[in-house]
Structure 1
Amino acid sequence: MKLAPHLYRLGNDVVACYLIDTPEGITLIDAGLPGHWRDLQRELNSLGKSADDIRGLVLTHGDSDHIGFAERLRREHGVAVYVHAADADRARTGKKPKTPTGPMRLGPALRFFGYSLLSKNGLRTHYIGEVTEIHDGDILDLPGKPAIVGMPGHSPGSVAVHVPLADAVFVGDALTTRHVLTGRIGPQPAPFTDDPAGALVSLDKIAGLQASWVLPGHGAPWRTSPAQVGEAIRKG
C-alpha cells in the first residue's frame, strides 16, 4: 500500500513492514512474518520491480515478527540484512528473555496469534544466517540513506530508522498504535518489551528528527512530528 512518494507499507495494522522505492533501488525496513513474502512480491510487481532491485533490509530489532522473510531474501537474492549489534544474536538465534504479557483481551490476542501463526506462517520463521551489524549514528549506504537511531528498551538493539527521502521515521516496537493483545487503538507502549522504563526514555531520542510519518511495526501509520511522540505516549 502506497503511503506517500517513495513509501509503501506491506501487511496491515496487525503486523507491518515497509518498502522505500528510489531510482537507486529499494530499501526494506523490517521483514514482517514469513507469509509477507507474497505481499512483498505483489508490491514489487506493482512497481515493475523485482527482489533483485532490493539493495538492503534494515531491521528495527531482531524479534521473530520482524525478520519473517529476511533469511529467504538473503539466501535467494544475496540481500544484506542490517541489525544493531546488540540484537544480532537475537536475529540469528531467536534467543530473548521472557517478558510479562501485561493486559490481554481474548479476541484481539487470538486475532494476532491467528494472523501471525496461521495466515502468515509465523511457525516457519527462519532465523538469519548472516547479518551486518549496525550502530547508533550510522548512516547506511543504501537507497534513501537510512540513519540509525538507537532506541534500547523493547530490546537492547532496538533502533529507529530515519529516512528523510520518505519523510519517515520507522520505529519498530519502540511504540505501537494498536496493541496486539488488547486491541486498544492509539499511540502507546508496545507489549513484550524487555525494559519498559528504558523504552519510554528512548522515545526522546527521535524528538529532533524531521519527519511527517512515525511508522510502527504494529498499528496504523501515524502522521505526527517525532517531537510530539514522547509526550503523547506518556499521556496515553
Structure 2
Amino acid sequence: MKISEHVHRLGNDIVASYLVVTPEGVTAVDAGLPGHRRELLAELASLGLGPADVAGVVLTHGDSDHVGFAEWLRREHGVPVYVHAADASRAKGGGKPAGLKQQMKLGALLQFLTYFVRKGGARSAWLTEVVEVHDGDVLDLPGSPRVISVPGHSEGSVAVHVPVADALFVGDALTTRHVLTGAEGPQPAPFTDEPERAVASLRVLVDTGATWVLPGHGAPWGGGVAAAVAAVEAAAAPPRA
C-alpha cells in the first residue's frame, strides 16, 4: 500500500513493515512476519521491481514479528540486514526478557494471535548474519536512512529517519494500535522491556521534525512527530488524583 511518494507499507494495522522506494533502489524497514514475503513480492512487482532491487533491510529491533522475511532476503538474494548491536542476539533468536503483566481485551488479543499465526509468526526464521549498527549511523542505502537509538522496548530499539521521505519509522518505540486492547492513537507499545525508559527515549525524535511517524503496529501517523510523542507521553502519564 502506498503511503507517500517514497513509502509503501506491507501488512496492516496489526503488523506492518515498510519499503522506502527511491530511484536508487529500495530499503526495507523491518520485515514483518514470514507470510508478508508474498506481499513484499507483490508490492515490488507493482513497481516493476523485484528482490534484486532491495539494497538492504533495516530492523528497528529484533523481535519475531519484525524479522519475518529478512533471513530469506539475506540468504536467497544476498540482501544485508542491519540491526543495532544491542539487538543483534535478539534478531538471531536470543530471546527477550519476560514481559510485564499486560492489559488486554479478549477480542483484540484473539485478532492479533490469529493474524500472527496465519502469517507464519510461529515459524519465524531468525537471522544467521547481521550487520551491526549504532546510534547516529547514516547507512549507505536508498534514502540514506539514519539510525536513532530509542532504547526501552528493547535495549537495541531504534527509529529510522529517512529525510527524503519526511518519514520516521519507529518500530515498537510507540504504537498507534495496541495489539492487546485495540486502543488506537499514539501510545506506549506493549511487550516493552523498560516502559518508562521507552517513553523517555522518544524525546530525541522530535528534532527530526518528520511529518510521517510509521509504527510496526497501527495506522501511519501523518500529524508530525512532535504531536505523536506528546500523545504517547500523555497516555503514559499516571492518572491525576
Range into which the TM-score falls when normalised by the shorter chain: over 0.9
What SS does the corresponding residue of 2:67 show, helix, strand or coil? coil
SS of 1:155 mapped into structure 2:
coil
Aligned mates of 1:101, 1:222 — CA distance in 2:
27
CA contact 1:37–1:69 (8 Å) conserved in 2: yes
Please list every run of 5 or more consecutive structure 2 residues that lacks an aligned counterpart in the other structure: 236-241
Question: Normalised by the size of structure 2, how large is the TM-score?
Answer: 0.96
Q: CA offset at residue 141 of structure 1?
A: 0.3
How far did 1:158 drift? 0.2
In 2, distance between residues paired with 1:94 and 1:116?
20
Cross-structure match for 1:100: 100
Q: How many residues align?
A: 235
Contact 2:18 2:30 in 1 (8 A): yes
CA distance in 2 between counterparts of 1:25 and 1:8 reads: 13
What are the within-5 Å matches in structure 2 for residues 56-205 of structure 1? 56-117=56-117, 119-205=118-204
**Segments of 4+ moved more than 4 angstroms:** none
User: In the TM superposition, what whole-angstrom CA distance separates every residue of 1:42-85 from its partner, at most 9, and x where no partner exists?
Assistant: 10010000000000000000000000111001000000000000
Partner of 1:215: 214
- Structure 1 gaps, min length 5: none
Structure 2 residue 44 is the aligned partner of structure 1 residue 44: yes
Q: Which residue of 2 aligns with 1:14?
A: 14
The change in CA–CA distance for 1:94 and 1:82 in structure 2 (over 3 A counts) is same
Q: Does 1:230 align with 2:232?
A: no
> Normalising by structure 1, what TM-score?
0.98
Q: Percent identity?
A: 61
Q: For 1:207, what is the secondary structure of its paired residue? A: helix
Contact 2:172/2:215 (<8 A) preserved: yes
- Taking only aligned residues, the RMSD between alpha carbons, in angstroms, comes to 0.8
Shift of 1:101: 4.0
